[in-house]
Each structure stands twice: as structure tokens, then as C-alpha cells.
Structure 1
Amino acid sequence: MTDRVRGYPAFPKGHRRARTWWGRAWLQAVEDTSLDQGQMRLGRKFAAAGMVGTITVSPGRLAAVVYDTEDTYRTSVSLTPLSDAEWERFLAQVTTKSGHIAALLDGDMPHDLVVAADDAGVQLLPGIGDLDPECTCPGWELPCRHAAALCDQASWLLDADPWVLLLLRGREREELLALIQSDEDRPDGATGEPATEVFAAPRVPLPAPPPLVELGPLPEFDPVPGLDVEALRWLVIDAAARARELLVTGELPVLEEWPDRVRMACTVDDPRLTARLAAVGPGLPRAMRAWSYGGAVALTLLDTAWAPSKAEAARANTAWEGEELPPATVWRNHWTVESEGLQLRLGHDGRWYPYRREGTDWWPAGPPERDPAAAFIELMP
């Protein structure tokens, strides 16, 4: 039996966000369960300030000491491990594609593996209510700011190593690899090398290329009449970026002409392309900034207003008053503090997008937050 406890050194100071889809899914589960988004905001600040100590991960539990201004607290988050039957179904899904094993060994968690596991009745990623935080602090919130900080940094661990999630679910990396490659799990009469050994083996360096030969003068030729070579180069760059997005996320949304033009300008990042696209339609620089912060959802908020439900408006006003923020003028999904030149816009995804007045226009000013107070505070100098 392998040692199912792993310790990870404390993260240094520095603000960061979950960058992988599974790291963001972890945070989403925490945020959806939380009843106090103010504690989530404080937790993010604690995590960025380096106030979380060494994180210990074991089946069903991750724990750390979290430092506060006056004391230190022992904080943990529990997640129910998978049963033996669930592990058997999960391993059956892993071994159906050798690419799944290779991806996990390379620090990636394929989206289709998680979907296949869900179809087999095995939930890898936590959902609403699956994470159970505990802390020795006197706070009653679930999670408190210390547990929120631990959960935030746990998403950073998951970004770097998806095996952390599998350990939380009950099995350690070497143990799983041994089960995958064991002879007992192989069909009778199977031959060849276990896939885990093949993908875990160090890469063999390629042989040296053959010596160059003298080719002589290359033939001269002209591009096909009417072919825009520069535009073709941009299309190749964009196609490569979209192919990578499809491999990473398993999704490739189809956009209308204007959003796709903005997306391409942000993807290729060539001033010549930006100038050509800007000549077709006005407002491209402002639209590009919106896309860089929140993609297609942020882009729709630039020139389109909509009316939130009464429940959404009430939640926003409650959060605003609870943080004692400046009075705001509310129009549809816009919360505006004219005296500060600041504004929040509620998106259809339930997140708040910060804006700042620049000249006569409102410009996107940062990434979205689930809590309106947190989004507004980030705008303050």
C-alpha cells in the first residue's frame, strides 16, 4: 500500500487565478456552495497574501494552517472519496483510451475523460455541497475566509497537478498506475507493453538530421493572382489557436461575424490585422478589451442592457449595502457611481463586470467577479 498523504509547500505571495478548466470547476463548486461571497473575496486576498501554510492532501481531506492578523487557525476541506466500485468504473474509462493516461501523466485532465466518468456514474469534480469546510476560527460562515483561502490555493494545486484531485478522491498516483498496468486487469492472452510504462518512459532523443545538400538556386514563383498571403498567414495562426482550444476544452463555439472578428483580433495580436479589422467596423479597441477580460459574455455587455430579475437585483443591493459602498444609480443591469467614474454591469452568467469612464465612453476595466462588492472594490485605487 502506498503512502496516501502528500504535502505541498506554501505558495509565495502573489495574485493568481485558476487557469485550467478543472481548477475553475473546483472554485465554481466552492462559490456556488458559499452563502457569503464577502468571505470568498477575503479568502482570495488571504491566498494572494501568502497566508496559507503547507497544504497536506490525503484521501477525502486537504488541510493547512492559515495565518490571520491575530492568530493562526487549523483549516480543512473534506471531499467524499470514491468507493471501490466507483474506482473500478473510473479505471475502466481511463483504459479505454491510451491518450487519457498520457494526458494525466502530462499534467492534463481531458474533458472527455470527466464526461465519460460522469456517464459511468463516477463524479470526479465536486459539485454544490460536496466540499465540507472546517476551521478552528470562531467564524460561523461556510466557508469562512480561512477555508476560502485554502480552497483558492487548492485550485492552484489542481492547475499544476490533476492527480491531487484523484488523491482527494481516494487513490494515489503510483497506486493508480500500478492498477492500470497490472496483469490482472489485462485481457487473457494480451501481449505488448503496458500503456502506462510506454507513456511514462523518458523520451528517446531523435537521431541527428542528415547533412544538408546543396540545392542550388530555388525556383522563383509568384503567388496565385488575387491571393492575400498576409491574410492567409493570419488564418493559419487563428486556426492553430482554435484547434488548441478545442483540444483543451472540448468545445468550439460558433460566433457571429462581429464577435468572431474581435476574437480573431485578440488571438492573432498583429497590429496590421487589427488595423484592417478596425477599418471594417468601429469600436474594435474597446471590444478587444472586453473580450480579453470575459470573452463573448463580456462583449455582449458593451452595448446591450437587460433587466435582471428582482432576486438578482435584491442580492446585488444587499451586497452593496453590506459593504457600505458609495450610493449607485441603477439602470437595468448597470450600477453606476458617477462621482467615481465607475460602473458595474451584470452579465447573463451571473458575474459582475467592472467598467471605468474614459472620456465619453465606458471601458471594461477588469475581469468579472461573482460578488458585486468584490468587483467594485477591485476598481478602487
Structure 2
Amino acid sequence: MNDRVKGFPAFGKGVRHARSWWGKAWLRALEDTALDQAPLRQGRKYAHAGLVDTITVSPGRITATVYDTDDTHHTVVHVTQLTDGEWHRFLGQVAAKAGHLAALLDREMPRELADAAADAGVPLLPGIGDLDTECTCPGWELPCRHAAALCHQASWLLDADPWVLLLLRGRDRDEVIAGARPTAGVLATAAYAEPVRDLPDDPPPADLGPLPEFEPVAGLDVDVLRLLVADAAAKARAVLATGRWPASDDRQDRVRLAATQPALRDRLDVDPRAVRAWQQGGATALDVLERPWTPDKAATARARAAWSGGELPEPAVWRNRWTVGTRQLRLAPDGRWFPYRDTDGTWWPTGTPQRDPAAALTDTD
């Protein structure tokens, strides 16, 4: 088959919706063009009912047979092809950034590319009045329900393959790739086809060496200062290792220091349960201690299935807290169960968070 004429099998019955931003833009052009919304609603129903047969796409047109209760109709949607000058400007935008062609090869339409094309005067995506329809039915609406059905299914094709839009504008995949060849350097398609190479291992972290010594100064606790310097060094190494800068939270920082630096615990006046929680699981455990939350239906169903699979006793459930006598598990948003034990009427973190509620409940013993 000619590469400039592509056939796509009928979708069949089923409710679908355009998901990509460019598929939605196609439908928006259809809706903005229509003078009457009733045929659009009927066309959507026809599309979902599988009444559109094989779709053929070629430069400037999409065609299909659309079935109706009374007859079958030949339906065409026309799209203006780009001129040679417009293609030259568009391909220049594709070649200007290797990531544009790589995204297209990965069946994605970068919004940045569409914006750059528009800035260069190239109408890549259709707008009001750009979808010109014709149909053998006697309906006078533009578009009629059969053309609307075809346009809806065309948006599903665009979702799966943005090359369909470029073919409608006049050129197939191979022509676009050839036209986007850079004037120097490595061809984008060749670079994209190269296997991903592993990055070299990070160098080992440098030895921090001995902690600095400080001359005693009136009112300065040298031992505390030494601990703070060591903590700052540890935080800096964590930032280098993860690339993430921790959020500023003075209270959480005090809890962390009290949990990790016992010599500072009495000086920081921190709730001992918060310290225990941090030792149990860091910031997530602290949040589980202090903030109950309500899982959605899917998370609750997964939790119920895990609980039943462990053959555990029936719990009393309140939001994310599942209680069995003096033992309690608190479900975190990441799916882990944090064990707790009732001590003199107060729930204390105990044990290690687990994915398996049976293992976590055992850890409260």
C-alpha cells in the first residue's frame, strides 16, 4: 500500500474518549465549527456504537463508510494540506531540537513543537472551520452525524499516533524524518536508535574526616555545635546523593534531630511519641502519627484484601487506623502498615512498617 494512504480497521463498539492534548484539540475544532450540537451528540453515539467502518487516511482527507438505521453513507473529512513553504518552516522547527523528533518517534506530539510551528505561521492543529466535511446522507447539517462520528474516531487515531495528523497535513512519516535531517552532526533518527548507555558509577563519597574543633566561647555549647555541624554535613551529602533539597520545616527538623542525636533530645523539648515515630520511619511515620486520612475506595479495597489474606481478626476501622484490642495498624498513603501499641490509653509507634498487615500486626507484640 502507498505510504501516503493508510487504512485503519474499524474500532468496533465501545466507549472511548480522546486522551491526548492534540486529540482533544481536534475535537475542539469540530465542536467550534458546528452550528448545531445535536448532530455532534448523535455522532459521538455512532462512534461509540461502532458504526464507523474501516478508516482511510491520506494527505488532506479521512474517509470511511458510516452505517445508519436507514442506509450506509460515504463520509469524508477534508483538512487543508500544508504548502511546501509551510513544510519547510515546520521541518526547521522539528530539526531545531532533537527531542522533537524523538518525541514523534515515541508517538508523542510535543506541545512546544506545535507552539513553535504556530509561531512560524504553520497551522499544524486544526482550528475553527478547518474540518470541512461531506457525506452522501441527505442531512444539511455541517457536520452531519456521520461526519461527526468519523471525526470522533479520528481523534482516537490521533491519540495513538500523531503521525496521522502529519499525514493529513501532506507528508508521511519517512518524508518528515528525511526532511528534518540536520545539516551537520548526527542524524536525530540515528541518535534515537542508539542503545541507552549506562552512566558511569558515582565516585565514592569523600571521607568527612575528623569533626572540627572549636575554641570555647562564653555561652557557646561546643558539643552541641559539633553535633549541628555533623548534622549539616549529613544533610548536604543527602542533597548531593538525591538531588532533592529538603523542604523547610523547623518543627520536623527538631524532631529529626531529637531522634538521631540523643545528646540533643532533652534540649529540644520534642514530644517523645514524635521522636519514636521518626525512629520508626522518618517523615512518613511522623505524618502517620499526627494526621489521620481517609483512603479512597480502591486503597480501602486493597487494604481489605491484604487484611483478609493474612487471616487476621476483624478490626475496628476508623479512617486509616485499624485496631484489634490494644494493637493498631495505621495505613500510610504509600501502602505500608505502621504498627502501634496502646500504653496507658495512648497509642505509641512500635516495630517496623510493613507491606504485609499480618507481619506488621505481629510486630506490635
In the superposition, the TM-score normalised over structure 2's length comes to 0.56
SS in 2 for 1:54: strand
Let me know the Cα RMSD of the aligned residues: 3.2
Query: Match for residue 125 of structure 1?
Result: 125
Q: Write the mapping of 1:108-147 to structure 2, written as runs, cut at 5 A.
A: 108-147=108-147
Aligned position for 2:73:
73
**CA 1:120–1:6 in 2, change beyond 3 Å: closer, same or farther?**
same
Cα distance in 2, alignment partners of residues 7 and 14 from structure 1: 20
> 1:232 and 1:98 mapped to 2: Cα distance?
45
Alpha-carbon shift at residue 146 of structure 1 (Å)? 0.3
Partners of 1:92 and 1:232 lie apart in 2 by: 53
1:197 CA displacement: 2.0
User: Is residue 100 from structure 1 mapped to residue 100 from structure 2 by the alignment?
Assistant: yes
1:18-167 residue pairs with structure 2 within 5 A? 18-167=18-167
- Counterpart CA distance in 1 for 2:29 and 2:127 is 5
The 1-side partners of 2:80 and 2:287 are apart by 50
CA contact (8 A) 1:10 1:50 kept: yes
State the number of aligned residues: 224
Gaps (5+ residues) in structure 2? 202-254, 260-273, 289-294, 304-317, 321-365
> Which amino acid letter does the alignment assign opposite residue 11 of structure 1?
F
Matching residue of 1:197: 190
User: SS of the residue aligned with 1:134?
Assistant: strand
Please name the residue that 1:301 is paired with: none
Q: Which runs of 5+ in 1 are unaligned?
A: 210-221, 235-264, 277-381
C-alpha offsets along residues 249-302 of structure 1, whole Å, 9 cap, x if unaligned? Answer: xxxxxxxxxxxxxxxx98xx8669x959xxxxxxxxxxxxxxxxxxxxxxxxxx
Match of 2:356 in 1: none
**Structure 1 partner of 2:283:** 229
> In percent, how many aligned pairs have the same letter?
60
TM-score by length of structure 1 reads 0.54
CA apart distance, 1:230:
2.2
Deviation (angstroms), 1:3: 3.1
Task: Tell me the alpha carbon deviations over residues 53-98 of structure 1, each in whole angstroms, 9 at most, x when there is no partner.
Answer: 1111011100000011121000010010000000010011111111
Change (3 A) 1:167 1:233: farther
User: SS of 1:117's equivalent?
Assistant: helix
The structure whose Rg is larger is 2
Q: Partners of 2:26 and 2:286 in 1: how far apart?
A: 39
1:359-378 to structure 2, matched below 5 A, reads none
Q: Distance in 2 between matches of 1:205 and 1:196?
A: 16
SS of the residue corresponding to residue 53 of structure 2 reads coil
Q: Relative to 1, partners in 2 of residues 1:137 and 1:202: Cα closer, same or farther, differing over 3 Å?
A: farther
* Preserved CA contact (<8 Å) 1:27 1:152: yes
Q: Give 1:206 shift.
A: 6.9
Deviations 1:21-68 (A, max 9, x none): 110000000001111111000001000010001111011100000011
User: Is the 1:43–1:147 Cα contact (8 Å) retained in structure 2?
Assistant: yes
Cα deviations by residue, 1:131-160 (Å, 9 ceiling, x for unpaired): 101000000000000000000000000000
Q: Is the 8 A contact 1:63 1:75 kept in 2?
A: yes
Instruction: Measure, in 2, the Cα distance between the counterparts of 1:147 and 1:157.
Output: 15
- Please give the secondary structure, in 2, of the residue aligned with 1:69: coil
**Counterparts of 1:232 and 1:104, CA distance in 2:** 44
